[in-house]
Structure 1
Amino acid sequence: MLKNLSIPQEFVLLALDRETNKLKSIFRQHVALYTVMACIVELSINGNVTFEDDDTVRISNSKSTGEKYLDRLLEIMNDEKPKKLKKWVNYFYNHIFKQREVYKIVVESLVEKGILEIENTEVLFVVPVKKYSDVAKTRNHIVEKIRAELLEHGNVEEHTLALVFFLNVKKMLNDYFSDYEQKTLKQKLEILRNEDILKKIRAVEKAVQYMEA
């Protein structure tokens, strides 16, 4: 069963999957930065931040969320002037230690929930690396949730929609779905975008495209 995981927690869990596709997971770029963006979407859905018409992100509720990584991000954002989302992307891109700090706390939260186990290993007995094990087999439940909501005409939650968007941008859908399923998922995203359900995610989409460029 899923343990009430947030968008960034599910994204990080899938991004750390070296069992499904070892080579791709090793060379993925900007996972920490995307995790911060996923946190901002989570804060938006929870009502802690708002996106204005010009994509300025403002904190509307700075009380504790109950999640250390979200609270830390709110602290960081509170210490700065309100910025448009593209400016926040630039900010965290240029403050790599802050983006990695938030990312590390997300990983730690998965360990605390008993979902991930971290093992220190070595490549060729020389290079130290960390091995992340999905001991609770939660990835399978996440994939099945996506399949049920977007491929089998279930009720689509904003949470799931945001996660699929991040997986699509990072080209991670092909780790878990067939070519036909990927095509169907992308078509569903387009339909939902036209129906305006993706309002809270559109600004993130623009910022991500800006970052990728």
Structure 2
Amino acid sequence: MKTLTRILLAIVLVVVVIYGIMALVIPTEKTVSRTAELNAPIRVVFEQVNTMSNWEKWSPWHQIDPNMKIEYANIPSGPGAAYSWESEDPNVGHGSLKIDESIPNESIHTTLHFEGQSSDGHGTWKFVEKGPDRTEVTWAMAMTFTKKPSDLMFAAMADMILGGTFEDGLENLEEVSQEAAEKQEIQEAAEVLEEDHEMMEEAEE
């Protein structure tokens, strides 16, 4: 019995020591960031992020649970635009996203709230034009964690977990932006043809 008690005490001591080391070593403030160059015009890429309804097309979390319930705010894009979601998938959960600040074709700042989390995440998007059809995009998220073991564990793995998600999101964003750019080009070409046709008809009259 004494041997079992000593083993249990040793286990508890090891756990306490590990937790103490984690609390000292793992920072409670963490920023995860990923950057990619997308083959799409900056104005198109920006709009995919600046308009909340577009997130359904490229956000990795929407792909995890396409059946999540979504509710949009009255403002569709820019500062004040927001949406909330509810999902039975534990990897998605319940939460909300809001655009706090938006500078066209330059940057977007967001607040991300997950129910059950100790604090909100603050997102930053930066857009840099690298050419007529090439855009450098940086997606970053700053988070603050408590000293709770669960928070410390997530903080330790945040870059690995969220970093991969951000990378997937940027790849999806490129694909969606390219499709949107192609549609805009077709629409613009059609409008030009229509204007030319109207001018020709007026000239004949």
Q: Which TM-score applies when normalising by structure 1?
A: 0.23
Higher helix share: 1
Higher strand share: 2
Q: Which TM-score applies when normalising by structure 2?
A: 0.24
Larger Rg: 2
